[in-house]
Chain A
Amino acid sequence: MADNDKTSGVNRRDFLKAASTVPVLGAFALSLKAKKKQDTLAREEILSIGREGAQTNPNVLKRNYQRKGSANDTLNIAIVGCGGRGKSLMRAAGFHPPDEDGAGGLEGTEKLNIRLVAVCDLFTPSVEWAVAASGGTAKVYETYQELMADPDIDAVVCATPDHYHSAVTIAAAEAGKHIYVEKCMTKTIPQAYAVRDAVKKNGVIFQLGHQNRNSNRYDSAMEVIDKGMLGHVSLIQCYTNRNSRNGAWVYNIPKEQGPKSAASGPRNLDWEQYTANTVQRPYDPNRFFRWRCFWDYGTGLSGDLLTHELDVINMVMNMGIPSSATASGGVYHHKEYTTLMTAQGEPLGSDAPVPEGALPRPDVPVLRREVPDVYQVVYEWKDRDMTVVYNATLSNNWHRGQIYLGDEATMDLTGGVDVYADPRSHKYRKWLDNGKVKPDEPMISFRNVAGKGIEAITAATAQWTVAKGLLYTYRGGRLINTTYLHIKDWIDHIRDNNPKTMCDIDDGFQEAITAHMATYSYLNGTRVNWNEEAQEVEFEHEPKIPALS
């Protein structure tokens, strides 16, 4: 080697050797460019197919609502019914006792500027929770009627059992208070009319508690529908998948519980008022704490879980009340349950493993479920040439999402928003034939991406990473509590005096009628029809069980 020549020669040769792999970077860049071009073309092409549709779902406007007025004035709210769901609502609104954690997903959100000023609940510990959550200032009312007479209250959140929804809502509307009520809006069909009349007559701002409407996956779902990508949708399938006692509403019962009228023991709940507007029965803690299992107080699967599905489908498809409903089901798995305690007398959770020596709790009778735990409903929209099927069992957790079956493509909302071309599609024929689109792989997927909002993805590999993971429900790059968003939407509309909330009284009316048509069909074994012109529910055969009271 040129040991003598220590100057330029060696350096140059050294430099050439040192830099010899730099061209590899160039090759890399070239390959990348070629690949990217190809991928982009494929993506653009696929994203562009079938997007000629021009229809716009009016619900899109609702979703993009921006408050116009200021939020400087503090609103005073009251909670009526502060049990499990009531507490979740209060946490989402920013209220919780100082020794408890607040709700997740509020990080960085706008403060609502509201004050919790009053509470009414029939179970003393729930009342105490609400007072603590308010910072000790909330006034306590024995009855919701007395609460409504308080002029300081601007708005009421109602999270009672279903059999008090309409009474509380109507009382609030007539007292001029805005109202946020949990689903199902009412317990009966006649109540749905009464609530709608009261809300509209008094001009209060109404929100029904379907917070799922805020989930941003529906933005993409609505885009897919509006652009006509699916062709004619003839069938939509939706499901409830649960497999636990808690999931089947067999909740834990507090250790200390008893009616105020009892001669002895804990006297911490107002059973008389609880049953005042329904069938009078002797005190049964199952009927108070596990009310969803009984027709006297709850609306069964129709009002409780079916409405979640049907409400968002109604938002996405904008289809109103079905022309008919048929329902079938039974009490098949969670038929009865004996509440247990340990040998030491400590209550056991209904899903807790049963230890040696466990005994039946003497203060809780055997629970005998009335409402079905396996339940199927079929709705028809004759004018839209469409069926919606709801399938539920509370004893299996196999994940089934929400599927929209169109003649050109299918949209599956199980993991995110996945659109599959139909194997017999005409619109996507070319892409199916040339292999760019495969019927068993999503043609387009929309996913929530951490920090980036919702994105359309077409590459199968990206698909896999994303599907496996997932994903938080993000909005604007942040994990947001949908219940917070739903309450905020309501508060914003109150400040703007705009009744068109995310789930307003018309949506609520549709929700309640849709749910109850199914329940009536189940109980009477007859198809139940909706007469759009007369705005009335009609039975195909005379019902043996009259309208539920």
Chain B
Amino acid sequence: MGNNLDRRDFLKAAAGTPILGAFAYTATRKGKVDGSRREELLEQAGGPEKTHPFMERKYKKLPSYQGNSDTINIGIIGAGSRGKDHLRALGLFVPEELTAEVKQELAGREPLNVRCTAVCDLYQPNVEFAVRASGGTAKAYRTHQELLAQSDVDAVVVATDDHWHAPVAKAAAEAGKHVYVEKCMTQNIHEIYDLRDAVRKAGIVFQLGHQNRNSAEYDSAMNVVARGMLGDISLIQCYTNRNSNSGAWFRDVPKIHGPLDAASGPRNLDWEQYVSNREHRPYDPNRFFNWTCFKDYSTGLSGQLLSHEMDLINMIMELGIPASAFASGGTYCYKQYQAIVDANGEPLGTDEPVPAGARTRPDVPLLVRQWPDVLQVVYEWPDRGLTVVYDATLGSQFNRDQIYLGSEATMKFDGGVQIYADRRSARYADWLASGRVTPDRPMISYRNLSGKGVEALTSATAAWSLSKGLLYTYRGGRRVNTTYLHHKNWLEHMRANDTDTLCNIGDGFQEAVTAHMGTASLLTGRRVHWNPETEQMTTGEGEPLEQFRDGWQL
């Protein structure tokens, strides 16, 4: 009995064990099949690995960079909402903003070793904020000219409104200060040339504030484009999706405001200096705090939001300035806004619900928008066989992603980078026919995985689970602020005495020309062409453009 039964018992008992072997075998095979499919797919999609030229620029070693032991003295010109973001990106916080969370984030950053030594702003509370954020090291100057005359300022961050970008940046370059300036680089066309000349002549390190160039997900996009995975790209579409008063630049006007020369009331802003290079008008708080809506001070959708999209596309596609631009639009959604106060006279935020008893705010007149809130611009690059379309309405926040339409595949940015094979693709025809690739699910999907950087995924299930929200935009395992990275890049170039920053004056020239071609077309009602030899905007017949209507100058 004994032995016999034991063996049989044992055999029965162990009957399930081979299944483990089968499992291991299948799992290995699955790993191999998925892996080889991924390799094959990446290979067939684009041939060998190629390096995108911008990637070399982005990750180049600066030979003369000796580290950041020297402190750089920074002056802030324009310390409004965006200027405050710059202070924070530089690591300068007012004490009440230094929360535990902020401290933790700062601890993870490589220190920039900068000191804010000077501030200039036309609105007194902004000056006070900047001085406090600097830890008391910053001195306040009434004009940017006085600030630029100081020897304890090595570099300036210009975050004024658009109509002061170029005059201040140019003066800074002429004073030998390095410049970081917010987009749009200039407010009108002739300033573009002046600023470029001044920056090049002075040999300073210049950075234009398109911090998105630092985002890691675009590395994957550049890889895709460099390897030609999409085939011939004939159309790129980009969008702005917003739908709120503040999104449409109807912002809150502070409770206490008034020009320095007022007979009575609060006297905390320098209106005279503000309008000194534009048409002189009586004080209007909307024109100061909601300047983005006005043609005198702002670049409208072209410079404010289109430039973000176009700069990114220019970086990925290396397009330069388009051969032509054709724009159309109107003020359709956010035509005007009347600031209100509640029953107790407290100002109400523009997007706040309106309580009972709210009434018109006496110190703020009706805001009437000048720049369109619905704008479409079509750019052509005939030599590249490519059109780029920008579609914006500030009256809808329905999400539309930037999308690249190629003859073999389509690339979409939705926080990651998705590549879809085209239904009629010749290159992927066999795979489409066999069902290994389906046109409505990503063929390749790049995501920033927490702690893992960018990963290429080809398995639809993996991509699906990721898209359902498991991810954060991390770099090297850490959440990072792109404006900080943009400043870091600028400062490292200063220390290495290298002018080829991530968004240098050449990029800035292209950005500003591209944006203003859109505006010029909108205002002249004609397709505006670019002559690369003379570097001038022209009509279709090569004639110079006429003076624009509606108050925007050439």
Contact = CB atoms under 8 A, between A and B. Distances in A.
Interface of A: 232, 234-235, 237, 242-244, 247, 324, 326-330, 332-333, 373-374, 376, 378-380, 382, 385-387, 389, 391, 393, 395-399, 403, 405-407, 410, 420, 422-425, 439-440, 524-527, 540-541, 544
Nearest to B541: A544
Contact of B526 (A330, A440, A527): A527
B395 A397 contact: no
A324 B405 CA distance: 27
Interface string B253-267: 000000000000000
Contacts of B410: 396, 398
A374 B393 CA distance: 23
Contacts of B424: 242-244, 247, 397
Contacts, number: 171
Interface stretch (B53-61, B79-87, B293-301, B323-331): B323-331
> Which of B396, B407, B521, B525 has the most chain A CB within a 10 Å cutoff?
B396
Nearest to A382: B330
B73 interface: no
B527 A328 contact: yes
B330 A387 contact: yes
B370 interface: no
Contacts of B327: 326, 378
Nearest to A323: B330
A274 to B, nearest CB: 31
Interface stretch (B211-219, B229-237, B359-367): B229-237
A373 B539 CA distance: 23
A170 to B, nearest CB: 33
A406 B420 contact: no
Contacts of B393: 234-235, 387, 405
Nearest to B392: A235
B369 to A, nearest CB: 12
Contacts of B328: 324, 326, 378-380, 387, 527
20 contacts: A235-B374, A243-B424, A244-B424, A329-B378, A373-B234, A374-B385, A374-B387, A379-B328, A389-B389, A391-B235, A396-B407, A396-B410, A424-B242, A439-B397, A439-B398, A525-B324, A525-B527, A540-B525, A541-B526, A544-B540
The 7 closest A-B pairs by CB, nearest first: A332-B385, A385-B332, A525-B527, A405-B396, A540-B525, A410-B398, A525-B540
B272 interface: no
A422 B243 contact: yes
Nearest to A384: B332
Interface size band for B: 35 or more
A544 B400 CA distance: 37
A300 B361 CA distance: 54
Interface in B510-554: 521, 525-527, 529, 539-541
A395 B403 contact: no
B332 A378 contact: no
Contacts of B405: 393, 395-396, 398
Contacts of A410: 396, 398
Interface in B202-234: 232, 234
A541 B541 CA distance: 12
Contact of A386 (B234, B237, B332, B385): B332
A29 to B, nearest CB: 34
Nearest to B420: A398
B265 to A, nearest CB: 34
A403 B403 CA distance: 16
A399 B422 CA distance: 9
Nearest to A244: B424
Given A235-B391, A387-B374, 12 more contacts: A235-B396, A242-B424, A326-B326, A380-B329, A393-B235, A395-B234, A395-B407, A398-B403, A399-B440, A424-B397, A525-B326, A525-B526
Given A391-B235, A397-B423, A526-B527, A423 B387 contact: no
A403 B407 contact: no
B160 interface: no
A372 to B, nearest CB: 9
A247 B423 CA distance: 13
B526 A234 contact: no
A376 B422 contact: no
Contact of A329 (B329, B387, B439, B540): B387
A422 to B, nearest CB: 5
B395 A405 contact: yes
B345 interface: no
Given A395-B234, A407-B396, A328 B387 contact: yes
A146 to B, nearest CB: 43
A373 B385 CA distance: 10
B525 to A, nearest CB: 4
B406 interface: yes
Contacts of B449: none
B311 interface: no
